[in-house]
Amino acid sequence: MRLSRFFAPTLKENPTEAQVVSHRLMLRAGMIRQHTAGIYNWLPLGTRVLQNVARIIREEQDAAGAQEIIMPTIQSADLWRESGRYDDYGAEMLRIKDRHERDMLYGPTHEEVVTDIFRNNVKSYRDLPTNLYQINWKFRDEVRPRFGLMRGREFLMKDAYSFDIDYASARHSYNQMFVAYLRTFARMGLRAIPMVAESGPIGGDLSHEFIVLADTGESAVYCHKAYLDKPIPENVDYGADLTSIVQDWTSLYSATDEKHDAGKAAELGADLISARGIEVGQTFYLGKKYSTPLGAKVVGADGNSVDVEMGCYGIGVSRCVAAIIEASHDENGIVWPDSVAPFHVGIINLKVGDTACDEACEKLHRALGLQGYDALYDDRDERAGVKFADMDLIGIPWQIVVGPKGIAKGIVELKRRATGLKEEITPEGALAKLGATI
């Protein structure tokens, strides 16, 4: 992609409305633009990152045995009256009347809808366990939207819902999602720590929030410092018993503010981390909170009807993008982890119009494309300083800088955004190194 043709309106100045670094950098890098309070447009750069984050989530959900569906954003209020939540759910629910004056709403969550799908289509224990997930837009009418994507009103969410015949099976489903979450966040470069949490308006009596530590986090959190470098489970067999992995990740102290036990925490001494945190996901064991009022039951092996056990599991997809920036940036801009970067490589042409530079850049651009890498080629007629600043701001993991002096000697500069390390190398050498690295 040529930057001269790419729609990425960067800003030189810090926008005054942005209070947190992720919001500021997403605006400055031209990733997003506000449409109205708490509602954003995703420009091409932001869209690419959001899709990469969603892809990782999707791959890990699929690997854990969940199946993707799509539920509507606009729901009928009837199901919420059945579950008893229509009146309970506060002003954050966007309530709508359609042209026939029927009560509708923009889904803030989908327990009712998915339970309705289940009860209408599954009748036998043989079809269990089932775990259905979607990645779709939700709306919560925050009274005071702020911090950009951190507390927006329209946001992209992954929500999964598990259905099981009994508690033991439901716990296994919970554990599958728990382990998938550890892997999911790690793959996008986030260290997310599971913390015992309140289940709030979703309900249920077992819940973990997955929290990324960051100074700009909205809530106080506490955990053992061993969580910071705990190895992430690999080559997981999701069919096997996952209890030991989950126990390993829940045996050390960790808690959100509401669940914090100061006495217990004090026992950790110097091992206690007391910090601010950003919630990027939450898991809930729901039991029969929805299945009983909505009548989601199956016939068991013994011929008796039983209300199914449920769990639900959310990830704030758009919020993850902000959390990644909060966790990975410097004074010059964003530092994307390779796995979610909008482009793998940036090519900077220091002298557009110079035949040798143009040819070398075009050749690199083509070669990277053939190797399957997305490259962003800065072919604009701009000063070198502007190009360096924009490429750092956008945060592409690798930069290849092509200048007339170097190219006369057959040399380009390969820079790693994260470390700032630069290396003089031939174009072929740069391609080989990227091929082996990305």
Binding site for a copy of itself (CB under 8 A): 5-7, 9, 30, 33, 35-36, 39-44, 46-48, 50, 65, 67-76, 78, 91-92, 94, 96, 98-99, 106, 113, 116-117, 120-122, 127, 130, 132, 136-137, 139, 141, 143, 153-154
CB 270, CB 281: distance < 8 Å: no
Nearest to 206 by CA among 292, 310, 278, 128: 310
Q: Considering the complex, what minimum distance in angstroms separates the CB of residue 259 from a copy of itself? A: 29
The CA distance from 261 to 366, in Å, is 58
Least distance CB 241 / a copy of itself (angstroms): 18
Residue among 40 and 174 whose Cβ is closer to a copy of itself? 40
Residues 6+ apart with CB under 8 A from 194: 178, 181, 182, 208, 209, 210, 211, 249, 250, 254, 283
In terms of CB distance, is 75 or 399 closer to a copy of itself?
75
Query: Is the Cβ of residue 143 or residue 262 nearer to a copy of itself in the bound state?
Result: 143
What is the C-alpha separation between 434 and 398, in angstroms, rounded? Answer: 8
Nearest to 195 by CA among 271, 267, 268, 281: 281
Residues facing 212 on adjacent strands: 192, 278
Instruction: Kindly state the tokens that stand for 107.
Output: 């889904």
CB of residue 149 vs a copy of itself: minimum separation in angstroms?
A: 12
Q: How far is the CB of 122 from a copy of itself (least distance, A)?
A: 7
Beta carbon of residue 67, minimum distance to a copy of itself (angstroms, whole number):
5
Please confirm whether the linkage preceding 404 is cis (ω < 30° from 0).
Answer: no
Beta carbon nearer to a copy of itself, 30 or 277: 30
**With respect to a copy of itself, which residue has the nearer C-beta, 132 or 402?**
132
Alpha helices in 225-299, H assignment, sequence order: 243-250, 262-266, 291-294
For residue 371, the minimal CB distance to a copy of itself (Å) is 18
Q: Is 133 helix (H, G, I), strand (E, B) or coil?
A: strand
We find the least distance from the C-beta atom of residue 337 to a copy of itself, in angstroms, to be 21
Nearer to a copy of itself, 37 or 432 (CB): 37
- Between 61 and 283, name the residue whose CB sits nearer to a copy of itself: 61
User: Tokens 């489970």 — which residue?
Assistant: 233
User: What φ, ψ does residue 381 adopt, rounded to 5°?
Assistant: -85, 75
Rank residues 123 and 225 by Cβ distance to a copy of itself and give the closer one. 123
- DSSP conformation letters of 348-364: EESSTT-HHHHHHHHHH
CA separation for the pair 37, 28 (Å, rounded): 18
φ and ψ at 422, to 5 degrees?
-120, 150
Q: Which residues contact 362 (CB under 8 A, 6 or more apart)?
A: none
- 3-class DSSP state for residue 384? helix
The residue among 117 and 367 lying less far from a copy of itself, judged by its C-beta, is 117
The nearest distance, CB 72 to a copy of itself, in angstroms, is: 5
Residue 434 beta carbon to a copy of itself: minimum distance, rounded to whole angstroms: 22
CB of 209 to a copy of itself, least distance (A): 25
Q: Shortest approach of a copy of itself to residue 354 CB, angstroms?
A: 20
CB closer to a copy of itself, 129 vs 203: 129
Distance CA 82, CA 90 (A): 17
Nearer to a copy of itself, 113 or 310 (CB): 113
160-192 as b/e: b if 16+ CB within 10 A? bbbbbbeeebbbbbbbbbbbbbbbbbbbbbbbb
